[in-house]
Amino acid sequence: MQKDAGSQSAHRDAAFDCLRQRDFPKSEALFKELIAAGSVDPQDRFGLSMALYEQGRLEDCRESLAEACRLEPNFVHAWLYRGVVNERMGLRSPAAGAYLRADRLMSGTPPASIPPDVRNLLTHGARFLGGEIFGALSAELASVARKHGEASIARLYHAAEMFAGIKPLRYEHPRWRPGLFYVPGMTPRQFFEREQFSWIDSVERHTDVIREELRAALSENKGFKPYVQYAEGSEEARIWNTLNGSTDWSTLHLARHGKFEAEACARCPKTLETLTAIPDLHDVPGYGPEIMFSVLQPKTLIPAHRGSVNGRLVVHLPLVVPPNCGYLRVGDEKRSWEEGKLMMFDDTFDHEAWNGSEQTRVVLIFDVWNPELSIAEREAFRVVLFRAAEFEKELLNS
């Protein structure tokens, strides 16, 4: 076979014609000729895979699909069929991993623009993947149930079912939209009041020393970074275009995603000591605690956005609040900051912050548990989120 582009294209057309005509051995032979002649077109590997699949040669098909995905990592069809083939071979983890990759690749795609065959495979894959995820999560929840009783964590079982996609999401408030994990049966509340927490005074009385550590950190001008940092061209960068990469909103993290930042903590020991003494400080491996100084420059708006989970609350300790600073809006309620007075809110309601003054505004931000979650539910919440993240890594590496 000649290797010029024209003859390769004609040869490829013939191979796909044989595939459509269900002459699978001939199609296989033609695709193999293309590959032997040096083709690195992932479509040739996929076509060969389909010819092998239709002949029931699943192991050969599996290897060919793996090569197609290596040549084109964003090849949705190939990932979906890798899921199908692995599932048929009883390889559940690799099947779930392939379906997960396909789902990720199609995330955000309008359903109407997805071809019916792809949509059907995605639906099947999501159902299979959801079953695997819930199986992993329910095993972790069972260990908590043995300790505290199954009834004590019933709504976390329900949350895990919705997270895995095996039960539909049903929000109890039209503006309540956690981005990652939703615990049902909780009171939709935008702001929480100080009477609901026992540790408020123990934090507020340290406002002055925390502010001193903040000012020392600001004077060093070290470690503060733009809070919003998304890759150029991404959907997130488009949404956050006014703040992406901008020091108009900068932060210094003492803890991020559950990991403490040693250098920042060493510079702010009293702040760290005060917050780690809070009995309700949110602590989920990979997610919390989250502790940061948040610096908002004059005339800067943080646009409306939502947090990821409704089992935790965000807390602001206002440290530097200029006159006419503005407000924090959560859902349909606005409140203004007052230095040294804590504000607790559920960030899974859409919320925005505005510094309308001519001076910089600074608050200390940290996360705490939603007080409606019991000790047993907090434990279940931890194991579900941690296991979900670990299981996802396992699937993507399978």
Return the sign of the alpha-carbon dihedral for residues 86, 92, 97, 102.
positive
Q: What's the pLDDT score for residue 261?
A: 97
For 298-374, where are the alpha helices, taking DSSP H only? none
By C-alpha distance, which of 64, 20, 18, 61 is closest to 41? 64
Structure tokens at 258: 């559950």
- How many whole angstroms separate alpha carbon 299 and alpha carbon 248? 9
Q: What's the pLDDT score for residue 5?
A: 63
Ordered strands of the 326-330 beta sheet:
300-305, 351-355, 326-330, 333-335
Longest dimension (CA), the chain: 82
Q: What's the pLDDT score for residue 1?
A: 47
Q: Virtual CA dihedral for 273, 275, 281, 287, nearest 10 degrees?
A: -90
Beta bridge partners of 192: 344
User: Cβ(45)–Cβ(64) under 8 Å?
Assistant: yes
Q: What is the pLDDT along the chain (398 residues), one digit of tens a residue?
A: 445 666 888 999 999 999 999 999 999 999 999 999 999 999 999 999 999 999 999 999 999 999 999 999 999 999 999 999 999 999 999 999 999 999 999 988 898 999 999 999 999 999 999 999 999 999 999 999 999 999 999 999 999 999 999 999 999 888 888 989 999 999 999 999 999 999 999 999 999 999 999 999 999 988 999 999 999 888 889 889 999 999 999 999 999 999 999 999 999 999 999 999 999 999 999 999 999 999 999 999 999 999 999 999 999 999 999 999 999 999 999 999 999 999 999 999 999 999 999 999 999 999 999 999 999 999 999 999 999 999 999 999 98
Structure tokens at 71: 């040549």
Q: What's the pLDDT score for residue 173?
A: 87
Q: What's the pLDDT score for residue 321?
A: 98
Structure tokens at 61: 């098909």
DSSP assignment of 214-278 equals: HHHHHHHT-S-EES----TTSHHHHHTTTTTT-TTEEEEEEEETTEE-HHHHHH-HHHHHHHHT-
The domain segmentation of the chain, as residue ranges, is 191-372
For the chain, where are the alpha helices, taking DSSP H only? 5-20, 24-36, 42-54, 58-71, 76-88, 92-106, 116-148, 154-164, 200-204, 207-220, 235-239, 262-267, 269-276, 375-396
φ, ψ of residue 284 in degrees (nearest 5) = -130, 120
Q: What's the pLDDT score for residue 398?
A: 84
- How many whole angstroms separate alpha carbon 47 and alpha carbon 95? 20
According to CATH, the topology of domain 191-372 is Jelly Rolls (2.60.120)
